[in-house]
Each structure stands twice: as structure tokens, then as C-alpha cells.
Amino acid sequence: MIGILENSPGGRGHSIRVLGLLVALGSWTGGCAGDEGCPVPMFECGGECRDVTSDSENCGGCALACGPGYVCEDASCTLSCLDGYTVCTDVCRDLSVDFYNCGMCGLVCSAGNVCLEGSCQPDCPDGYSACSGTCKNLVNDPSNCGECGNVCADGEVCLSGACSFTCPSPYVDCSGSCADLQIDHRNCGACGTACAPGQVCEASACVNSCIEGLTMCSGACSDLMRDPENCGSCASRCGTGENCYEGTCIAACPGGFSDCSGTCRDLDSDRLNCGACETECLEGELCVSGACEVTCASPLVECSGVCSDRDSDPHNCGTCGTRCGMSEGCVSGSCVGITCLLVEDFEAGGSWPLSPWVAHASGGTLTTTAAHDGTYGLEDAGWSYRTDVSTGSGARLTWWVHTDTSSSGRVYLGFDSSSTGCKSFVVAPNTTEIMFMNNSSWSFSTFARVTQSFSADHWYLAEVTIAGSVATGRLYDSDGSTLINTTTYDYGSVGTGGVAIRSFGGIGVDTITLCP
């Protein structure tokens, strides 16, 4: 009997899938000349007997070394994680706190939640705790008094996290909670009278609340240090041509500041006036030296304007700008060989769609004019999808795109697809842009549009990489390596659905590849 060699997750090693069965039968004597002197399951490698089931330098066969971060188990290179970590799409993850893999691989917590002890729980404000998916005030909640689930007995109230028989002055019993009606925003002036969002309870009345540094002036929050209508104090208005600086009306702004509608602004650091008056940075950006720059939530870092996880991003692996090869993946910050899946090469010919593709909308022609490699490619496809492959976090999806002679039309590379729609990266010569869409129910909502010109009768490589809920789309030139443009969008969550395609206007599509 002969062992069958296959690529392992480490990429550089191999595994003998039938090894255990052969050893159990006592019939395996090794796979190369000279092995007769080595006991099962040893191989003679370089004059020494090696256990190819556990030797990381000879895993599954002689000189088949496992990549960085991998160990040899059962003749297969397997990613090795520290205690407390679990392998999720070739990355070691702590399932107890990982927002994108909470309790199990691929389980992404929804917005407003955090991952605690392996479960998605509300991200509660100070003074509140998550109890069965709801934020509770353990100080005075009679159903969660002092700790979640601690219910006070009938006739008792909750005060300072302990069940008591009565509420001391100035507290009042409001359905078992001891509330100070002078300042309690849920019971302001009377039990059950809650203040609206943005208000606080002061002297038993709900009043508008201003963030630190701002003052309420005539019903609006004002910065008394900068507001020319309320400079230094409410209703203290600066004269014509004067500016408000540090709460004082002055004739001109000091050095380093600019006059923006009567307010002295530092254009080098002011997010609302970055580089020029009224030039506001986008959400998630800071103003640095007069330019808006991306800020990224940990563990993501900014690499060339894109938030990247350098542990798993094949374009910024370990360090920004370190790009893994097309047949490599990024594992724990190192490029290692991986086996990519050829999703579709369109070489079967005949009519479209080919199984296992399913047509949501009719259309599509297999033609030699759309072939990048091989004989056939696809033109003008209606929405088609397949769900036998998964495009969740960590996936990299690529395909070749060919513009027609007039450089019109557009093509959609769909991911996280199902029978009810998909998300997509769109290459759009007809509107000279690339963008992301949400195609729920096969309709469309457009996000992250970036201007991009296209050449007629030209091949491009389109790519989508997914890190948690963030999708990054890249457009490469015909050599498949020269990066032309990039855009990114945070969908909030990206599931593990399949692949989808659509094109029109003579656009050609060929060779769809999925790398884990």
C-alpha cells in the first residue's frame, strides 16, 4: 500500500494521510531506499532514522520542513498556538476576548458589544454591568442588587448594592430602587420620570447636558474659550472683526492660529478645521500636521491609509508593506506557504451557470474573448452565487477582470453570499471608480467610493481581503503585482457566506481564486 501525500496547512510540509492505517496493519516499511533498517514509522533521512510523524524538519517525508509557527503532528504540519489560544483560519486567537472570534471561530460580536469570557456582552458605560445581555446598575437594581441575578425579597429595596428594608433620606423607594429624585436621571423629580438622552437631572429637573469644556448658553452648548458669540461668558459677544481666543476678544489671532469665522483655530491639529477652515476629518481620523490621518482600533494598525492586522494581513505581514506571495498566507506575522482554492476557471465550457453556481438572475456567456488563461472566461453575467466555499475573516479572494474596447460596464466580486444577497467589491469603468456595496436581496447600497480611470481592452486583477468586519479591495495592473488603487470599508460584521459574481457592458471575468 502507498501513502498519499497532500499539502499541509503549513504549506512547506506534507502529510501521509493513510500513515496511521498502514502502521496499524504493520505493512508500512518506509517510502525510500534504505528504510529497511529503520523501525516503523521511521524513515532513513540523511543517514539517520527520523520519525516523520513528529519531526518538524522531516514531516511526512524526508526534508519536508514545517514553516515558522508550525509543529509536526501525525505527519502533518499543524499551527502551534500557546495555551489558551485556538487556531482560527490559520491564526492563533484568544476566544475568551477576541471580538471577531468570541467563544468560537468566526463568531463576531455585534456593534455595542465586547467579548468577555468567551461570550458577546454589552459594552456597558461606567457604573453599569452586563447581566444576561443587558446593562444593569448593581447599586440600586432590586433584581440585580450587588451582583447579577441577586433579587431582593418582597418589601426590600436595593441601596448601595445591598438589599435593605427602607430607603434612608433623601432617597425614595421607586419600585424597589432607592433613588435620589434630585439627581437620578431615571427618576428625576418623581419616580419613573426619565430624562431624555443628552440631559441630566439637576435639582429635580431635566436639563441639557454639555460635554466637559462646553457651557450651556441659551439652550446650546458653547465653548467660551473660542465662541465669538459667547467669549469668556454667555452672551459676551466680540465686536466686528474681532476673534475669540482663550476667552478674550482680540483683534487678530496669535501666531500659529487662523481666523475661522471669528474663532482662532490651529489648522495643524483641529479635526474640524484641518489644514484649512471647515475642512473636517472623517470619523476615525485625527488631524496631524494639517492633514487627516487614519486611526485604527487595537490590534489593527495603519498601513498606507488602511487599518491592518499585521498578524494575518498578507499585504502587511509582520510589518507594514511586507507582502506575502500569491501562494502564501500571513500566519502570526510570518509569510508561510498555503494551498489556495481555485473557485472557478470557466474551462468546462457550455452554458452558464455551471454547477455548483446558482443563477439569481439569468445571463452570462462563456467565451474565448474573456479568457485570461485557458480557453474560456465569462462575460455579462447576471447575479450568480455559490455557497460551497467560505469567505469569512482571513480570506483573500481574487479574480481577473477584462475591460471592453470602450472601457464601459462594471463587474461585482461578491463575498459572504447566500440566496438572499451578498456584499461586493465593484470595479466600475462606466463610472470611473472602485467601491464596496451591500447587495442585500440583490439590491445595492454603495460605500467607500474611490475614483479610478481604466484603459480599454485591458486586464486587471481585483482582490478582496477580509479582517474581521473590515474588507479591503485592491486593484492591480495586468502583471498582477503593480498596485493601482485601494479602498476599504468596515461592514460592522462579515459572515462566512460564499462567492457571487455579476457583470455587464462587455466586462470579462476569469480565474477566481480563494486563499484561506
Distance CA 422, CA 498 (A): 8
What stretch of H or E contains 377? Answer: strand 377-379
For cell 500566519, the residue is 331
Distance CA 59, CA 247 (A): 72
Characterize the bridge pairing of strands 306-308 and 301-303. Answer: antiparallel
Please check the confidence at residue 425 and state whether its pLDDT lies above 80.
Answer: yes
- Which triple of cell numbers denotes residue 335? 509569510
Characterize the bridge pairing of strands 119-122 and 113-116. Answer: antiparallel
Please check the confidence at residue 14 and state whether its pLDDT lies above 50.
Answer: no
Q: Which amino acid is at 496?
A: T
Distance CA 500, CA 481 (A): 24
Looking at domain 341-515, which CATH architecture does it have? Sandwich (2.60)
* pLDDT score of 478: 92
Of the candidates 255, 256, 261, which has an alpha carbon nearest to the alpha carbon of residue 243? 261
Burial class (CB in 10 A: 0-12, 13-18, 19+), 268: middle
> How much is the average pLDDT of 415-419?
93
Render pLDDT for 438-470 as a digit per residue (tens, 0 to 9). Answer: 998 888 888 888 889 999 999 999 999 888 788
Rama region for 50: left / alpha / beta (φ>0; ψ in -120 to 50; rest): beta
**Cβ-contact 284, 271 below 8 angstroms:** no
Q: Residues of the chain with pLDDT > 70: what percent? A: 87
What stretch of H or E contains 448? Answer: strand 445-451
* pLDDT score of 35: 45
Residues 6+ apart with CB under 8 A from 348: 354, 376
**Cβ-contact 75, 57 below 8 angstroms:** no
Distance CA 308, CA 318 (A): 10
Of the candidates 251, 257, 284, which has an alpha carbon nearest to the alpha carbon of residue 273? 257
Render pLDDT for 275-325 as a digit per residue (tens, 0 to 9). Answer: 999 888 765 567 888 988 776 766 777 777 667 778 877 778 888 888 877
Mean pLDDT of the chain: 81
* pLDDT score of 6: 37
Render pLDDT for 24-78 as a digit per residue (tens, 0 to 9). Answer: 333 333 334 334 578 877 888 888 898 888 888 888 888 888 876 678 888 888 7
Q: How confident is the model at residue 211 (pLDDT cuts 50, 70, 90)?
A: low
Domains in the chain: boundaries: 5-79, 86-122, 301-337, 341-515
* pLDDT score of 297: 65
Please report, for residues 8, 273, 343, 412, 498, the alpha-carbon distance to residue 388 in angstroms, rounded to integers and kept in the order given: 21, 49, 10, 19, 7
Please report the beta strands in 119-253, taking only residues with DSSP state E, as ranges in sequence order: 119-122, 129-131, 134-136, 157-159, 162-164, 172-174, 177-179, 199-202, 205-208, 215-217, 220-222, 243-245, 248-250
* pLDDT score of 446: 85
- Which triple of cell numbers denotes residue 74? 501525525
